[in-house]
Amino acid sequence: KQEVTQIPAALSVPEGENLVLNCSFTDSAIYNLQWFRQDPGKGLTSLLLIQSSQREQTSGRLNASLDKSSGRSTLYIAASQPGDSATYLCAVRASGTYKYIFGTGTRLKVLA
C-alpha cells in the first residue's frame, strides 16, 4: 500500500532563507508526483507536477525534484517571502491507478 510522508510537519524560517521541504513515498511505481499549496481555509493550488520520467521541474522560485528509486521528492523554495507561508502538500499517483495519495503536509511560516 502506497504511503506518503512529509517531514517536517511544521517549519518556521526568517525571510530570505532558501528552504527544502521533503516528501517520501513507499512504492516507487508512480505515474507522477504533484506539489500543492494550501492557504488557511482555502483549496489546493497546484504548484508543480513531475512525471515519473522527469527528474525535476521549475517554476519561478520553486524547484521540485524526484528520485523514484529512493522514493523521495523535494520542493526547494528560494529566497523565501512571508507570502510563501502556507501548508505544502505532496501527492503521488501510483502507476495503474486513478487515485492520488496525499501526505499530511508541511506547514511553513516565513517570518518578516
Binding site for other proteins (CB under 8 A): 31-32, 34, 36, 41-46, 49, 51, 89, 91, 93, 98-100, 102-105
| Residues 6 or more apart whose Cβ sits within 8 Å of residue 68 | 28, 30, 52
Distance CA 77, CA 69 (A): 23
Distance CA 108, CA 110 (A): 7
- Of 40, 30, 14, nearest to 100 (Cα)? 30
**Shortest reach from residue 102's CB to other proteins, in Å:** 4
Distance CA 11, CA 57 (A): 23
**Shortest reach from residue 45's CB to other proteins, in Å:** 8
**Shortest reach from residue 39's CB to other proteins, in Å:** 11
**Shortest reach from residue 40's CB to other proteins, in Å:** 11
Nearer to other proteins, 28 or 32 (CB): 32
Nearer to other proteins, 41 or 60 (CB): 41
Nearer to other proteins, 73 or 80 (CB): 73
Nearer to other proteins, 15 or 39 (CB): 39
| Residues 6 or more apart whose Cβ sits within 8 Å of residue 28 | 68, 69, 71
